[in-house]
């Protein structure tokens, strides 16, 4: 392995995931509801998966793609909703106090 590859591995190996903000209790209470609603919407209406059928391995891949896309969309919307809620709560606390 060359020097550039070793530098890349050292940088990637030293990165740490900070799950402190992501694992907040409010995220895990809102995320499942958002995930179910967005998944149903994407599967039945946006991608219209019931019209295709599940006869090939490609159909399973399409379903997994839609579900993973729904999970990403749900996580993003959950973070946005929590952020907006905290901003509203902070603004209300400033006006009351």
Q: What is the pLDDT of residues 57-83, one digit of tens each?
A: 888 999 999 999 999 999 999 988 988
Query: What single-letter DSSP state applies at residue 18?
Result: -
pLDDT above 90 (res 6): no
Q: Do the beta carbons of residue 39 and residue 70 sit within 8 Å?
A: yes
- Token readout for 9 is 């591995």
Give the pTM. Answer: 0.71
Nearest by Cα to 39 from 95, 77, 12: 77
Distance, in Å, from the CA atom of 75 to the CA atom of 34, rounded to the nearest integer, reads 8
pLDDT above 50 (res 26): yes
């Amino acid at each position: 392995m060359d020097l550039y590859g070793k530098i890349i591995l050292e940088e990637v190996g030293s990165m740490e995931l900070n799950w402190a903000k992501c694992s907040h209790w409010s995220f895990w209470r809102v995320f499942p509801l958002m995930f179910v609603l967005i998944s149903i919407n994407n599967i039945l209406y946006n991608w219209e998966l019931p019209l295709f059928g599940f006869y090939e391995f490609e159909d399973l891949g399409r379903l997994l793609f839609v579900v993973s896309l729904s999970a990403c969309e749900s996580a993003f919307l959950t973070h946005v909703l929590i952020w907006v809620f905290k901003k509203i709560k902070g603004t209300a606390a400033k006006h009351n106090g």
